[in-house]
Amino acid sequence: MYIFASMISKSKYLISLFAALFLLLLGIQVYFMYKTSQVKKREIYSDVHNRIDDYIDNLENLGGASNLGDDKLRKVFAEFNNKKISKKEFLQYFDQNRKRTQDKLSDYIDRHFAKEGYKVAIRTQYLSIVYVPKNINLIDKPVTLYETRNKITKAGISNTGKWETSSTSKSDKTDQLERDDSFFVRSQTDFEILNINTVVFQNLTLLTLCCIAILLSVLILYIFTIKNLIRQQKQVEVLHTVVDNISHEFKTPIATLKIASKTLKKEYNTEIFPLIDRQISRLEDLMHQLHPEYLTEERSATKPENWDFFIQDLAFTYENADFKLNNSVSKELPFDKKLMETVIKNLCENSVKYGASEIKIDVKTIQNKLEIIVADNGNGMEQSELKNIFEKFYRIQSNNIHNSKGLGLGLFFVKKIVEKYHGKTEITSEVNVGTTFKISIPYED
């Protein structure tokens, strides 16, 4: 029992360890995919940036679409600084330029990255325009110069730049500096690939599928291992129970032999010797049932009177049960006598174990078929149990407690013997009413 408990404890430990390692592997895979996607994003942004950087730096060369050369910009700055134009006119000037260049810039960018499928958004802004002599910033918020139809939502990469434009004028009379129009400008160009996640996923599809395949393989192996462990634990538990109950199965023939021995001591009875021989044979059969060759051995055929002997032994052993046999078999049948005894006794003993006080056995032949019907008034079975009762080592439980002793082999061997002779078994049962087994086995004269 200690070994069994130790096995369960060890299995639980292995399951927990396996689960922890799987979660660790899952975390490593997720982290690996995340870092790989980040590297891929940087590669794509770097490629996009390198391919359009020179073009963005010379946006005033958009084939006449832009009219913001250095001289023009300085002139606009100076006019606004000297209050020759209003702030509204100043901002409108840049807004008109943005609208005028938007389509040409967008078409160029879309055409340039159509093959890769990138959806690129670009925006160039002036962050500050400072009048140098007095250090006055002409704008209180960024001004957009150029922008594509696709709008920036979150810049993936940004370029900042600084440049200065200046102009001075002198008085014709005094030859002194009359005005200094010097401006210091800070600009920023933002790039964003709006469908970057889709692009990265497409680029990493094969790698993602490989990672998923590895995880699924490990998970399937994990589930298979868990199921196998559970199945083995159940088998160990069943075998443990079988070992505990083997002694009970041997008690019946041993008890019968003891009774026969006491009877012989009191008085001589010739009927006792056949009974002893049959019980010894039964002990041998119990041992044989633990070996697969038991069902393949062919011994003697079944004679009509053998059916009576089978029931006599049962009646002798189970004094409190009423066995009623209707034997209409009138000829020898080509079925092994030991196997037929196993069928009859296993069915009847199963009835006694599950509360039957009256068992009716009907044995007859109909059109080259042996028909055996065993009906009892026992506890009966739930319909859900009927599909399991012929399984090896299976025993009906109530609240996970076996209410009757046994190996769980009786009905299993009944099924195997019937199948050996190409017969069929039918069963009907009702709780608190009883159970009826009907066996039909074909034979040739």
Q: Is the pLDDT of residue 64 over 50?
A: no
How does DSSP classify residue 433?
T
One-letter amino acid of 28: I
Mean pLDDT on 106-130: 89
Q: What pTM value is reported for the model?
A: 0.48
- Distance between CA atoms of residues 325 and 276, nearest Å: 22
Q: Model confidence over 134-170: pLDDT tens digits?
A: 888 988 899 998 899 999 988 888 888 888 887 655 5
DSSP letters, 336-396, are EHHHHHHHHHHHHHHHHHTT-SEEEEEEEE-SSEEEEEEEE-S----GGGTTTTTSTT---
Residue 256 has pLDDT above 50, yes or no: yes
Domains by residue range for the chain, with CATH: 44-203 (no CATH), 244-442 (3.30.565.10)
The pLDDT assigned to 222 comes to: 80
pLDDT digits (tens, 9 = 90+) for 271-300: 777 777 777 776 766 666 555 555 556 667
CB 166 within 8 A of CB 74: yes
Question: Is 323's pLDDT higher than 70?
Answer: yes
pLDDT at position 325 = 92
pLDDT of residue 62: 47
Stretch 69-84: mean pLDDT: 82
Average pLDDT estimate for 4-13:
61
Residue whose structure tokens are 């083997």:
246
The confidence score (pLDDT) of residue 344 equals 92
The pLDDT value given to residue 249: 63
Residue 427 has a pLDDT of 92
Confirm if 429 and 436 have CB atoms less than 8 A apart. yes
Strand partners, 160: 188
Q: What integer pLDDT is reported at residue 11 of this predicted model? A: 66
The band of 322, judged by pLDDT with boundaries at 50, 70 and 90, is: very high
Helix (H, G, I), strand (E, B) or coil at 13: helix
Q: What is the spatial distance between Cα 87 and Cα 158, in angstroms, rounded to a whole number?
A: 27
Inter-residue contact 427 to 386 (CB < 8 Å): yes
Q: What kind and span of H or E run contains 237?
A: helix 205-266
